Amino acid sequence: MEYEAVIGLEVHVQLRTKSKMFTDAPYYFGAEPNTLTDPVVWALPGVLPVLNFEAIRKSIKAGMLLNCDIPEVAKWDRKNYFYPDSPKNYQLSQYDQPLCLNGGVEIELAGADRASMGAHRTVKLTRIHLEEDVGKLTHFANDSLVDFNRAGTPLIEIVSEPDLFSADEAFAYLCSLRDSLVFADISDCDMEKGQMRCDANISVRPKGEHKLGVKVEIKNMNSMSSVKAGIEYEIRRQTDAILKGQKIVQETRRWDAELGITQSMRGKENAHDYRYFPDPDLMPVMISQELKASIRKELPALPFDLQRKYMQDYGLPYSCTSVLCHERELAEYFEECVKHTKNAHAAANYIVNDILRELGALSASGERRAAVSQSGISAKNLAGLVNEIDAGVISKQMAKDVFAEMFKSGRSAAAIIEEKGLRQNSDSGEIESFCLEALKGNQKAIDEFKAGNVKAINALVGPVMKLSKGKANPAMVLETLKKLIK
């Protein structure tokens, strides 16, 4: 019998806000331990939570981006459990009235090859709710230390339906979610920094069966590759167990990235009773039509939508759009470019190849690639360069130097061409005289060309370019040479 896996993901995403969820204390990554705190973060006697409205806006924005229904009222609940990283020993969360309901995440499955687009499908979401993050524990031989810097930072939990059927699909889902949320400036979604965390509920059932199998929750998958490997392992483990006639027990398991296996953490009987109840310190959030309208105005197009648009409107190849639409800044840079040039294709190629290469060189290895805003070449100037080439003012060969100079100096292509006298020579009289000069003493090449070796003409182009100090219009040179040989 064939078996299939059914996967639901719970993805926690840290919202990018200046201050914490329920207090003015700031938050950023990498501060000295326990410095981003105040009486509210420490949960001292008498403190009360005050809602950070920016977190509400960003959560609703995430929901709108993912086509969720946004209710009129959302409320806050306390999730009670004791753990040293939780200062109040309850977490403010949303139990039965979250900020976003339903919705879906469009995913792309692998295509036939890198150059072709794969199949697309929308994975159903259950809900998105907003809650506060906990601190961080570090364990030593005899002690454990806790850092409350992260405690109380806003976190959204995006819960999918059991609507994913392989580790690859789960991986594609995470990629799409990350790209969309980063695109909309909701989060930086860096899994290594804990800005995005993923737990998976996995069950296995005979193919064709509608009823779900016994579900196992997998935790501690701390990178994109861990998610894929962890899910792959767990599907295999469950399938093997079923094939051996064993029963799957409902439990929570922990992915061990070093050993490459999942291990039981706790069984169903040890599941927490969180004693949820409505938080009496916070008022329910009323979500007005005006608020929704104002957030809707800030919504960017989603990466997949942009990709389709670029392929259709500009005829860009799929592989090129995959790079452009991976990052909002790049896409915006491209769109600015095409305001100033008709040759979108050339502009896109310049961005994807040359600009990204130079940006990569700006940052040390292992570091995040420099942003396109750090490029010396503005979108308008890049369009200018493309236009100079298209107008025949400079050759593609000359353009390489111009590009390098532009990136370094931030000046326009026209200014550099003018200053360095790089303007291509398209004077037919002069070119003809360079060609006649080059033909002298190159009888071997002439004979070979006449004998049908088309490439032999290249041996003649070199001397012409040399005579013209590299400025002769290459297309005109070729044409003139051919004419003269005949």
Q: Which residues bind other proteins (CB under 8 A)?
A: 39, 42-51, 78, 80, 82, 84, 87-90, 144, 146, 273, 275-277, 280-283
CA distance 131 to 156: 6
Instruction: For residue 151, report the phi and psi dihedrals to the nearest 5 degrees.
Output: -60, 130
Query: In terms of CB distance, is 206 or 284 closer to other proteins?
Result: 284
Query: In terms of CB distance, is 41 or 330 closer to other proteins?
Result: 41
In angstroms, give the least distance from the CB of 318 to other proteins: 50
CA distance 197 to 189: 9
Query: In terms of CB distance, is 28 or 53 closer to other proteins?
Result: 53
C-beta separation of 36 from 180 below 8 A: no
C-beta separation of 272 from 83 below 8 A: no
In angstroms, give the least distance from the CB of 201 to other proteins: 19
In angstroms, give the least distance from the CB of 133 to other proteins: 17
Query: In terms of CB distance, is 80 or 102 closer to other proteins?
Result: 80
Residue 305 is encoded by which pair of tokens? 């939508």
Report in angstroms the alpha-carbon separations of 425 from 33, 171, 413. Answer: 64, 54, 17
Query: In terms of CB distance, is 91 or 387 closer to other proteins?
Result: 91
In angstroms, give the least distance from the CB of 400 to other proteins: 60
Report in angstroms the alpha-carbon separations of 95 from 56, 104, 173. Answer: 16, 20, 24
C-beta separation of 233 from 261 below 8 A: yes
**By C-alpha distance, which of 13, 60, 54 is closest to 299?**
60
In angstroms, give the least distance from the CB of 253 to other proteins: 22
CA distance 280 to 417: 69
In angstroms, give the least distance from the CB of 282 to other proteins: 5
CA distance 227 to 183: 22
Catalogue the E-assigned strands of 349-402.
Answer: none
**By C-alpha distance, which of 195, 194, 219, 58 is closest to 130?**
58
Query: In terms of CB distance, is 39 or 315 closer to other proteins?
Result: 39
- Go through the chain and tell me how many residues it has: 486
**By C-alpha distance, which of 271, 238, 236, 235 is closest to 252?**
271
In angstroms, give the least distance from the CB of 272 to other proteins: 10
CA distance 288 to 361: 48
Instruction: For residue 243, report the phi and psi dihedrals to the nearest 5 degrees.
Output: -60, -30
In angstroms, give the least distance from the CB of 10 to other proteins: 20
In angstroms, give the least distance from the CB of 303 to other proteins: 37
**By C-alpha distance, which of 268, 153, 175, 269 is closest to 224?**
175
Query: In terms of CB distance, is 266 or 380 closer to other proteins?
Result: 266
In angstroms, give the least distance from the CB of 53 to other proteins: 12
In angstroms, give the least distance from the CB of 78 to other proteins: 5
Please list, residue by residue across 382-392, b when 16 or more beta carbons sit within 10 angstroms of its beta carbon and e when fewer do.
bbbbbbbbeee
Query: In terms of CB distance, is 115 or 137 closer to other proteins?
Result: 137
206 forms beta bridges with: 3
Query: In terms of CB distance, is 282 or 446 closer to other proteins?
Result: 282
The identity of residue 211, as a single letter, is K
Query: In terms of CB distance, is 270 or 312 closer to other proteins?
Result: 270
| DSSP code of residue 472 | B
The identity of residue 349, as a single letter, is N
In angstroms, give the least distance from the CB of 42 to other proteins: 6
Query: In terms of CB distance, is 49 or 103 closer to other proteins?
Result: 49
Catalogue the E-assigned strands of 142-296.
Answer: 144-147, 154-160, 196-206, 216-221, 251-256, 261-267, 277-278, 285-286
CA distance 98 to 128: 7
Helix (H), strand (E) at residue 230: helix 224-243
Query: In terms of CB distance, is 90 or 334 closer to other proteins?
Result: 90
